[in-house]
Amino acid sequence: MAVLQSTFVTFVCLTSLGYIHGNEKIFSDNITRILDRLLDGYDNRLRPGSGGGVTEVKTDIFVTSFGPVSDVEMEYTMDMFFRQMWVDERLKFEGPTEILRLNNRMVDKIWTPDTFFRNSKKSLSHNMTTPNKLFRIMQNGTVLYTMRLTISADCPMKLVDFPMDGHACPLRFGSYAYTSNEIIFTWRKGPIASVDCPPESISLLQYDLVGQTLSSEIFKSNTGQYSVQVVHFHLQRKLGYYLIQTYIPLIMVVVLSQVSFWINKESVPARTVAGITTVLTMTTLSISARQSLPKVAYATAMDWFIAVCFAFVASALVEFAAVNYFATLQANHLKRKKTRQEKLEVLASTTEDGDTVSQSDGSPQEGLKKRNHSMARSEIGEGPPLPIFLQQGSAFPQIPQLAGTSPIDKYSRILFPLAFALFNGFYWYIYLAKDTMERARYVTVMFKKNVQNHLFLLWPLSHLLTWRLYGL
């Protein structure tokens, strides 16, 4: 009995396996026949609807990696899945499946759009370990073609507001040979959701990707008009790096240059070294700040800040030169005044001694001794000679009127910091409150007649959202 049961179970299993294998073989044979029938008489040199209507190619993009962005080369790099969808009436079929999921080798056997990226500097189609392409055919003849690409595209930048600037980096693509009368490109998910940039796919160190805007345009050339799809990626530069590396050091150098106003004006070497050192430091900082930028012919926001800081530092050195110049004039004036006063005292003493001699008891030797004593007293002075550290040129001047703080230093201690603080207030208020994002160029959108009605319903909505987001 047990032997019969085991035999029956074995028979049922073998029968089931044979049935499943038979169904798989039938299904595979059906798919093969469908593909053979689709390709029978198919000419991949002709576009769908050739000689008739316009072929509509719907596109969308999924960004897997965005960055880096090069300011010097004015370009950006992105890795993406580029999807195209169109209808080919010649590929309609009926069978056991609704979607034919095919190998990428099938792509070479049917017609595909000759899409290229107009502002691309370098493009790469990934082929490891096999060509990264996805190919699907639906029963109604709709074809889905997806490929993984790495694009390095041109991004024109205006660096007037650097480093508080923002840029709209474009990506333009369309047909290379077919005009807009033959192929027209549209956004598959509308002008809002057809480009997807997940936050985890953004790898930017100096920028924030704040959004993207989509549009369509017509490119006119000598060979005709071509449908072009445009994506503008809006990048806002991060300010933190430049604050740490440039702005804060510049502010500190200016503050250090103003410390010299509190140093004694007679300390000529100390104040001279401080002024020259700050000027050289400012020059070094300005050169290093320019190394990460292209050689543009206009001044950026950072250039204006560096120029004003350099003017403050140079003015501090000029201020000390003025202090030293006027102190020297005052010293020379007091010296000449003292010399004239001493000469008058000598003459007065000589006259007084002469009168004394004439009124004496007639002893010529005694009168001569008094005159010699008076002249020696006027030349040598009544007190002992001054020490060397109290003579002119030391930190403690010989002339008491030259001691103390110069009026120029007193005013500079207040005016220089106040002027620099006001400059910083105006500078940061203007640039931080200013909308520095570049605007995408307005383009004329042209659509195919049979999709014009429903696409125009979405287009004003997209413009309204664009105005709200970017202040157009």
- pLDDT category, 184, cuts 50, 70, 90? very high
Q: How far is it, in rounded angstroms, from Cα 161 to Cα 430?
A: 11
The whole-number average pLDDT for the span 254-283 is: 89
pLDDT at 24 over 60: no
Q: How far is it, in rounded angstroms, from Cα 52 to Cα 145?
A: 23
Give the residues across from 84 on adjacent strands.
Answer: 59, 145
The tokens of 262 are what?
């509190």
Domain boundaries, the chain: 55-238+442-470, 244-433
Q: How far is it, in rounded angstroms, from Cα 353 to Cα 19?
A: 151
Query: At 214, is the secondary structure helix, strand, or coil?
Result: strand
**Residue at token pair 């543009």:** 296
**Domain at 244-433: CATH code:** 1.20.58.390
Query: At 341, is the secondary structure helix, strand, or coil?
Result: helix
The percent of residues in the chain predicted with pLDDT above 90, rounded, is 51
pLDDT at 174 over 80: yes
The percent of residues in the chain predicted with pLDDT above 70, rounded, is 75
pLDDT at 340 over 50: yes
Per the omega criterion (within 30 degrees of 0), is the bond before 384 cis?
no
User: Which tens digits make up the pLDDT trace of 102-121?
Assistant: 988 889 999 999 999 999 99
What's the first-to-final CA gap in the chain, in angstroms?
Answer: 88
What pLDDT is stored for residue 310 in this prediction?
95
Taking the CB of residue 189, how many other CB atoms lie within 10 A of it? 14
Taking the CB of residue 316, how many other CB atoms lie within 10 A of it? 23
- pLDDT category, 421, cuts 50, 70, 90? very high
Contact (CB, 8 A) for 219 and 226:
yes
- pLDDT category, 290, cuts 50, 70, 90? confident
**Residue whose C-alpha is closest to residue 233's, from 190, 202, 200:** 202
Domain 55-238+442-470 in CATH 2.70.170.10? The answer is yes
- pLDDT category, 333, cuts 50, 70, 90? low
pLDDT at 419 over 50: yes
pLDDT at 54 over 90: yes
What pLDDT is stored for residue 97 in this prediction?
86
- pLDDT category, 418, cuts 50, 70, 90? very high
Q: What is the mean pLDDT of the chain?
A: 80
Domains 55-238+442-470 and 244-433 are alike in CATH topology: no
